Amino acid sequence: MDWETTSFNKINKNISFIERVAGLFRSTIRNRRKLALEYIKKVKPKNILELGCGSGDFAIQLLANKNIKKIYAFDIENTAIDLANKKRGKKS
| Torsion of Cα atoms, 24 then 25 then 29 then 35, to 10° | 90
- Show me where the domains of the chain are located: 2-87
Q: What's the CATH code, domain 2-87?
A: 3.40.50.150
Round to whole Å and give the CA distance between 75 and 33.
17
pLDDT in tens, 54-87: 888 888 888 888 889 999 999 998 988 888 888 8
Confidence band, pLDDT 50/70/90 cuts, at residue 16: confident
pTM above 0.85, yes or no: no
pLDDT, mean of residues 2-8: 59
